A = this chain, B = another copy of it.
Amino acid sequence: MLNFESDYLEGAHEKILQRMLETNEEKLTGYGHDKYSASAVDKIRQACLCPEADVYFISGGTLTNALVIASMLKKYEGVLAAETAHIATHETGAIEYSGHKVLTLPQTQGKISATQVRDYLTTFWADANHEFMVFPGMVYLSHPTEYGTLYSKEELQAISEVCHDYQIPLFLDGARLGYGLASPESDLSLPMIAEYCDVFYIGGTKVGAFLGEAIVFTKHNCPEYFLAHMKQQGALLAKGRLLGLQFDTLFTDQLYLTISQHAIAMAMRLKKGLQEKNYRFYLDSPTNQQFIVIQNKQLEELKKKVAFGFWETFDESHSVIRFATSWATKEADIDELLTLL
């Protein structure tokens, strides 16, 4: 059966597997102190044009979010995020488990704006009783967002300015960062993201790796003894080589970008096909996730032939569904899907 359920359906890119085979018997020091991790750090620093960045590899996104937030915030601080942000909705309260509140702002197509953030911060600090409220200590953005949308350079820069005016870090969750960078509608490069954000992560799990996310601290702002934070939150893999080697491969010869571009090409082929068939889009996504509104009856039929993501109820008779492409999607599958639709 066809499957467009998510962007983590397959294993890993073949080059990663190949290098795992080649290096398998090498005896390497644990906990990320191996040569492949060191090489991956170097390559990521270069790709970000941020030679002094601190880079750490973590096994998954929720753990990464919880770790970055808990290690950077003061105890009485929370994190500002869109009401649809992954940390606010689909991580079973992992942030609250670490003791911190997610302070939500209304979203527009999955995004929040510099104006919203500034208003929140201004109001907070103007309130005579702000010590009775959770302090906004960080801004969290997903890029691409949970709806596949992107921040423009101008939007990101503006949010960054607000954060710096209020001296709080800007954290960008890049679980699907490759698909954002590869989108033709994006005017943001990796060095720009490193410039505007204080910390961000480059997603591997959804972009070619078996597992792994690379946290990048860009402003000499890595929490002291970050390994201790990692160990305490269960985020320090014994065989750190497994993460290092994958990112080393993804950041060799621009593999990360190349495979992301493929996913976008596949998504655009699908989008064009859907447009031609007059499907109604829930919103205009320039990345690898495409959301359409379909009749519930059609949804039931479609389910028998293809796996996709059910997103939300649209109205009594319609639903929003998601098709996700990835680095591994085949053109033939797109075409077969379009035939079915």
Chain A positions within 8 Å of B, measured between CB atoms, are 3, 5-6, 8-12, 14, 17, 20-21, 23-30, 59-64, 66-67, 70-71, 74-76, 78, 89-94, 96-97, 99-102, 128-129, 131-135, 205-206, 210-211, 224-225, 227-229, 231-239, 241-242, 310, 328
User: Which residue of chain B has the shortest Cβ distance to A12 in the bound complex?
Assistant: B24
For A78, list chain B residues within 8 Å (CB): 93, 96
Shortest Cβ distance from A44 into chain B, in angstroms? 21
Shortest Cβ distance from A78 into chain B, in angstroms? 6
Tell me what chain A mostly uses at the interface: helix, strand, loop, or mixed.
loop
Contact: A27 with B9, CB < 8 Å?
Answer: yes
Contact: B132 with A92, CB < 8 Å?
Answer: yes
- A90-B133, A131-B92 given as contacts; is B76 within 8 A of A229 (CB)? yes
Shortest Cβ distance from A300 into chain B, in angstroms? 15
Whole-angstrom CA separation of A3 from B75 in the bound complex: 34
Shortest Cβ distance from A235 into chain B, in angstroms? 7
User: Which residue of chain B has the shortest Cβ distance to A22 in the bound complex?
Assistant: B11
Contact: A90 with B129, CB < 8 Å?
Answer: yes
Contact: A91 with B232, CB < 8 Å?
Answer: yes
Whole-angstrom CA separation of A30 from B131 in the bound complex: 14
Contact: B233 with A93, CB < 8 Å?
Answer: no
Whole-angstrom CA separation of A32 from B97 in the bound complex: 23
Shortest Cβ distance from A316 into chain B, in angstroms? 14
Partner of A231, one of B12, B102, B131: B131
- A225-B135, A242-B211 given as contacts; is B94 within 8 A of A231 (CB)? yes
Q: What 8 A-B pairs come out closest when comparing CB atoms? A: A63-B234, A11-B24, A9-B27, A92-B231, A93-B134, A92-B232, A76-B228, A96-B101
Contact: B131 with A225, CB < 8 Å?
Answer: yes
Contact: B101 with A133, CB < 8 Å?
Answer: no
Contact: B5 with A29, CB < 8 Å?
Answer: yes
Partner of A30, one of B6, B14, B133: B6
Whole-angstrom CA separation of A241 from B62 in the bound complex: 18
Whole-angstrom CA separation of A99 from B97 in the bound complex: 4
User: Which residue of chain B has the shortest Cβ distance to A91 in the bound complex?
Assistant: B231
For A227, list chain B residues within 8 Å (CB): 131
Whole-angstrom CA separation of A238 from B63 in the bound complex: 12
For A97, list chain B residues within 8 Å (CB): 75, 99, 232-233
Contact: B89 with A96, CB < 8 Å?
Answer: no
Shortest Cβ distance from A118 into chain B, in angstroms? 16
- A6-B30, A91-B231 given as contacts; is B21 within 8 A of A17 (CB)? yes
Contact: B94 with A242, CB < 8 Å?
Answer: no
- A8-B238, A135-B228, A210-B242 given as contacts; is B90 within 8 A of A100 (CB)? no
For A225, list chain B residues within 8 Å (CB): 74, 76, 131, 135
Contact: B14 with A17, CB < 8 Å?
Answer: no
Contact: A60 with B238, CB < 8 Å?
Answer: yes
Whole-angstrom CA separation of A141 from B190 in the bound complex: 47
Whole-angstrom CA separation of A227 from B67 in the bound complex: 19
Contact: B232 with A93, CB < 8 Å?
Answer: yes
Contact: B132 with A234, CB < 8 Å?
Answer: no
- A6-B30, A24-B17, A232-B75 given as contacts; is B90 within 8 A of A238 (CB)? no
